[in-house]
Structure 1
Amino acid sequence: MRVRTSLLSQEFCSDEAGFAPTLPTGYTWARRGTRAVVFQEGTSGRRVNALGALRTGSQPGLVFRTTTDKVTSDLLLDFIYTQVAGLTGVLGTAAIAPGLPRHRPCTIVLDNASTHVSRRIKDARPLLEGLGITLFYLPPYSPPN
């Protein structure tokens, strides 16, 4: 599926992923006659979440952010606003008002993850669109062809 946008628009495909460097231990081995000892490694604070946005078109590039925090709608909005769209300030404050759009419109393609379709994101869409940032959602099932 191709998103129809202006030639001057920037297009991004965005998603997030989580990484846990500590894998669960399902089994182990030991020499006969000795007790197998499995050291339990604490997983607290070891998970790393990454948000990424791939810019498509004539000037491809990757924008990303890593965090050990949970990926929330507020974190996603901040990522879209500051790193993908390249705007400064805080989204929704009086300092940034609708009518101050980006110099180039921006379209961001998202899947239907719960953080992408939350009430917080739905409420922020009019403000984002006023700034030249459009969120485009993939259909619930997108076959590869």
Structure 2
Amino acid sequence: MDYRWKRFRKWVKPLQNKQAYEQKRKALYTLLYLAQTGRIELYFGDESGFCLTPCVPYGWIKKGKHAPILSQKGARINVFGLLSTDNKLLTYQKGGSLNADFIIQCVDAFSASITKPTVIVLDNASLHTGGRWEIKKEEWEQKGLYIFFLPTYSPHLNRIERFWKQVKYYWLKAEDYLSIDALREALQTIFTGFENYFTLNFKELVVDENLILNFE
């Protein structure tokens, strides 16, 4: 039989609006180009949650031995993160559930530190939309901070998604899940040492004139 054992993967491409996707992708490439040429700062934002249910899929184990990982219910650490195109990382943690008010507070705090025109790339989650967001966007734009929304069903365009995956599947170790305090400490080590010890090598943008909007 012509079959192979393969992992199933989530596929959202059929749900995309093709025209809207291409327009947004082209605009995002323009923002990446402007960031690479030093004309703006560009950050990718998103939320992630961490608990004592491990995501560690692989590890070095002696032959004939097993390495069970205890899965526990308990507290959860929720994080809103901002990752720039040059690997600057900002994280904001919350013990309880995240809501729009908390994310707005995070963006407010971030807006006070910008020194040049800055864009935050976000998805269309309910945490990022609504009446308060529309009001705050006007305030932020007066400070030089702008929000760019990705096309729907396009998580692959958000660079910070790759960062969360690296944290959960590669950088956290089995022993980091022994307690919520151990997990919190491990996350803090990763977050604070990211630029020096845990860098991500994103593919360089190849500037194609067909993918750059006219911004002059």
TM class, shorter-length: 0.5 to 0.7
Is residue 52–residue 73 contact of structure 2 (8 Å, CA) maintained in 1? Answer: no
SS at match of 1:115: helix
TM-aligned CA deviation for residue 54 of structure 1: 0.6
Q: Which residue of 1 aligns with 2:43?
A: 12
CA distance in 2 between partners of 1:48 and 1:114 (Å): 20
> CA 1:103–1:61 in structure 2 vs 1: closer, same or farther (change >3 Å)?
closer
Normalized per residue, the structure richer in strand is 1
SS at match of 2:126: coil
Aligned AA for 2:87?
P
TM-aligned CA deviation for residue 8 of structure 1: 2.8
Q: Which residue of 2 aligns with 1:54?
A: 83
Q: Which residue of 2 aligns with 1:129?
A: 141
TM-score (norm 2): 0.45
CA distance in 1 between partners of 2:143 and 2:131 (Å): 19
In terms of Rg, which structure is larger?
1
Q: Superposition RMSD on alpha carbons, in Å? A: 2.5
Structure 1 stretches lacking a partner, 5+ long: 24-40, 89-101
Please show how residues 1-145 of structure 1 align to structure 2 within 5 Å: 1=25, 2-4=29-31, 5=34, 7-21=38-52, 43=74, 46-56=75-85, 59-82=86-109, 84-85=110-111, 87=112, 102-142=114-154, 144=156
TM-aligned CA deviation for residue 18 of structure 1: 1.2
TM-aligned CA deviation for residue 3 of structure 1: 4.1
Is residue 123–residue 155 contact of structure 2 (8 Å, CA) maintained in 1? Answer: no
TM-aligned CA deviation for residue 118 of structure 1: 2.2
Structure 1 stretches (4+) deviating beyond 6 angstroms?
none
CA distance in 2 between partners of 1:60 and 1:79 (Å): 19
Aligned residue pairs: how many? 109
Normalized per residue, the structure richer in helix is 2
CA distance in 1 between partners of 2:44 and 2:155 (Å): 16
CA distance in 2 between partners of 1:20 and 1:143 (Å): 22
CA distance in 2 between partners of 1:75 and 1:143 (Å): 22
Q: Which has the higher contact order (CA 8 A, sep 6+)?
A: 2
SS at match of 1:139: coil
Q: Percent identity?
A: 28
CA distance in 2 between partners of 1:103 and 1:121 (Å): 22
Aligned AA for 2:52?
P
